[in-house]
Amino acid sequence: MPDPTLRELSRRAIRQRLGDVAIRIFAERGYAATTVDEVAAAAGISERTFFRYFGTKDQVLFFRADEDTQMLVDRLRERPVGEAPWISLRQIVLVSLDLLDDEAELERERMLRSILNSTPELLAHQLARVADTQRTLGDALWERWIAVPGHREDDADTRLVLRALVGAMLGVLTEVMMHAEDQPPAERRRLVRTALDAIRPGRVDLGGEPDA
């Protein structure tokens, strides 16, 4: 990022501000009961301009999550080539949970979850996003897999298994985030770690049984 031009800075700032304002108002008065106009006004812009930043009312709640997905993929790419897939996954997930150590971030996550849980339409959107993350991470894992000498590009079975691995991991993550939402960050981290270890794959080349 060489040139954070003034326009670009302003754009990011307004996006951020809209995101913060929206999540707070939605949490207070409810998602359906809040109009886009109210959110825009609270952020100091017109309704028309809101829709130039976010295509729809709900996107204002999810743009941060898009960044999270990208962060997971980036971190995955930073892991050493040849590391067993399950180990890589476990690592990047546990690191990303550290975000919740930040008090403000934790509070934000709480509000977001309460909004999502009380609006079926948003929950559906969330599921679609998880499915998307699963696909993206699965592809990235596969790219890394076939980059290892000796691994074949036509190993369809393993490709499927890798997708399943991501699915299992995200499944655990969602389960814990949904059903242990009141637990402190440390406890949630422990739960995730325990669950991940419980379902680790049998195949050693995938990262199973590292201590056997």
| Contacts to its own copies by CB under 8 A | 120, 123-125, 127-128, 131, 167, 171
Q: What angle do CA 104, 107, 113 make, to 5 degrees?
A: 140
For DNA, the binding residues in 7-36 under the rule CB under 7 A are 7, 10-11, 14, 34-36
- Shortest separation between residue 167's beta carbon and its own copies, angstroms: 7
Q: Are 36 and 50 in contact (CB under 8 A)?
A: yes
Nearer to its own copies, 104 or 198 (CB): 198
Q: Which of 12, 52, 77, 135 binds DNA (CB under 7 A)?
A: 52
Residue 98: both structure tokens together: 């550290």
The reply on whether position 51 binds DNA by CB under 7 A is yes
| Separation CA 87–CA 206 (nearest Å) | 8
Residues in the chain: 212
Closest distance of CB 31 from its own copies, Å: 16
H/E element holding 59? helix 59-78
| Cβ(199)–Cβ(172) below 8 Å | yes
Q: Name the residues that contact DNA, by CB under 7 A.
A: 5-7, 10-11, 14, 34-37, 44-49, 51-53, 55-58
